[in-house]
Amino acid sequence: MIIVLGFLMNFAVRRHNDRIIDTVKIHIENSDYIHFITNTMVKDIVNLSSENGKKAIKIKDINISKTESNLDSNPFISNSNVYIDLNGSININIDQKIPVVRVKTSNEEFYLDKFGSKFPLSRNFSLPCLIATGEIGNKEFNNLVKLTQLIADDDTLKNHIVSIVKDKKNCYNFLLNIPGVYIEYGELKNNHQKLTNLKEFYRQYLDYVGFGVYKKISLKYDNQIVATKR
């Protein structure tokens, strides 16, 4: 019985592996607004990962571990999962990287995701997000991401702040959608307190007098705001 069972199982596996691939089902997370990865790109990676290196036709042509490894090596993919169901369909689930901030230094330009990991710009797609410029080093990535996430999650801040600039004195500044005035932020620390102070300043003063009165609003000093008039 064991021999017969083993024979039947081996026969079933070989028959399954010789089946023509019925369909390739691809699900790309957040594909409704992020288009770094397309179905065509995924299918190309699947075919290049096949046993013949050209095109996967049968189930046995699919090398799952190699396919996942090649998908994960794509700079715009954070995670992938590949499996074959009993109907002979290849199922591929893709998580795309989501930019939090776009960084531009004198040497390169790239995105940072929520983990502070950098990845390149795409030739095919650009996602609008806050831009940070200046000589920003790797050690600052995590703190910069935390700051930009706080800005993006607040309607007041994201509607006023259009970019972040690091100057030669290693001080970060916010450029606003109002010409002639900027916010001196200082170092990337005490983010919650600084932004809370800024919003309170908006509420108590700027809503009444407007931005036109000031040329600079400084948050760099602990627990206080210094506003410089024109």
For residue 217, what are the β-bridge partners?
183, 227
Q: Tell me if 96 sits within 8 A of 26, measured CB to CB.
A: no
How far is 197 from 202, CA to CA, in rounded Å? Answer: 9
Which residues have CB under 8 Å from 95's CB, separation 6+? 29, 77, 78, 79, 80
pLDDT digits (tens, 9 = 90+) for 67-96: 899 999 999 999 999 988 877 788 999 999
Band of pLDDT at residue 208, cut at 50, 70 and 90? low
pLDDT category of residue 228 using cuts at 50, 70 and 90: confident
Average pLDDT over all residues of the chain: 85
pTM of the model: 0.83
Amino acid identity of 124?
Answer: N
pLDDT at 209: 66
Q: DSSP string spanning 153-194?
A: T-HHHHHHEEEEEE-TTS-EEEEESSTT-EEEEESS--HHHH
Q: How confident is the model at residue 24 (pLDDT cuts 50, 70, 90)?
A: confident
